Amino acid sequence: MENTAATKKVMLSGIQPSGDLHLGNYLGAVKNWAALAEEFDCYYFMADLHSITVRQNPAELRRRSLAQLAQYIACGLDPEKNTLFIQSHVHEHAELGWILNCYTMFGELSRMTQFKDKCAKNADNINGGLFTYPSLMAADILLYQADYVPVGEDQKQHCELTRDIATRFNNIYGETFKVPEPYIPKVGARIMSLVNPTSKMSKSDPHGCVFLLDSPEEIARKFKRAVTDSDTENCVRYAPAEKPGVANLMSIYSSVTGKSFEEIEAEFQGKGYGAFKPAVGEAVIEALRPVREEAQRIMADKAYLQQVYTQGAQKAGYVARKTLRKVYKRVGFVEKPF
């Protein structure tokens, strides 16, 4: 019997609109997300409420929220198969976040390593939101009775806290929340910086980072300047310990062409880096061309983008309201008259 939306397990992920997606995001994760909709009922939201724990330029935050939504659609997250929305459009997130603050222990929040990291980076703005945002994150997940939450290493602690909060609430009031499980997503290639191949590709390093919306000329320029290695071998072979720069370029080329490392070595035998780097750049340009063009088309079609996030918020809001009504009743609030 086929899975239907009613019987599928629920998968939820919130993404902070912190900037344009890059090649590492795409090849490492996002490219694989489209297929999840066949197995799960997927919710993806732009986590703008979480973003303001750090000071934001309002116009930039709005632009990034919409641009990131457009890029996710362009990467294959079909709005007809996935629920895509903006977090602040579903007010139940903030409402349940406050309630769960009251069921989250001070000691638990004090132990969150991300709070300590963010305090170190934002010493002039250590606000209450930085401290309590794991409770809001728990609300994000529990509102939708999510079965699974995709987690990286830096989010495992928050997923465990969400499970603890849900279990505590259920023990006090009876079965209210589904206790979610961490989901370790299928990981694509680990893409490193083009100028520092010992570090992951990151938007904080624009010279070593290829953004999905970069022009073909910009992508070609970045690959021509990519670090290879300091030896005189000038040979394309996969040896990550000896030649991390070459290995990174081979990983990228393999990911976008489907060729094995052996095939790549044979293709560029005797040709050297002068031929290899532009070829990788050209392959990336062609792989990203449909994504970039579709993202630009979507961003230009403001009516379509508004339709997507409106319908997404309506569907998400319907599910969230059901959970919040149950929570309000459990804690003893008088039923709303409207």
Residues 165 and 265 reside in one and the same domain: no
Residues 20 and 39 reside in one and the same domain: yes
**Residue 148 three-state SS:** strand
Is the model's pLDDT at 7 over the cut of 50? Answer: yes
Active-site residue, selected from the candidate residues 8, 178, 203, 326: 203
Is the model's pLDDT at 115 over the cut of 80? Answer: no
Cα gap 136→112, rounded to integer Å: 14
Residues 103 and 183 reside in one and the same domain: yes
Is the model's pLDDT at 5 over the cut of 60? Answer: no
Q: What is the pLDDT of residue 256?
A: 94
Q: CB–CB of 46/305 below 8 Å?
A: no
Active-site residue, 203 included: yes
Percent of residues, the chain, with pLDDT higher than 70: 96
Is the model's pLDDT at 25 over the cut of 90? Answer: no
Residues 95 and 183 reside in one and the same domain: yes
Residues 211 and 288 reside in one and the same domain: yes
Q: What is the pLDDT of residue 3?
A: 47
Q: CB–CB of 312/79 below 8 Å?
A: yes
What CATH number does residue 269 fall under? Answer: 1.10.240.10
Q: How confident is the model over 281-300, as pLDDT tens digits?
A: 999 999 999 999 999 999 99
Active-site residue, selected from the candidate residues 8, 178, 200, 259: 200
Domain count of the chain?
2
151 vs 202, higher pLDDT: 202
Active-site residue, selected from the candidate residues 118, 222, 243, 277: 118
Q: What is the pLDDT of residue 245?
A: 94
248 vs 123, higher pLDDT: 248
Residues 6+ apart with CB under 8 A from 162: 134, 137, 138, 141, 142, 149, 180
Residues 306 and 245 reside in one and the same domain: no
Q: Which residues span the domain enclosing 42?
A: 9-188+302-331
Active-site residue, 118 included: yes
Q: What is the pLDDT of residue 151?
A: 77
Q: What is the pLDDT of residue 20?
A: 81
Is the model's pLDDT at 88 over the cut of 70? Answer: yes
Is the model's pLDDT at 301 over the cut of 80? Answer: yes
pTM, two decimals, is 0.86
Q: Within 10 A of 232 (CB to CB), how many other CB atoms are there?
A: 6
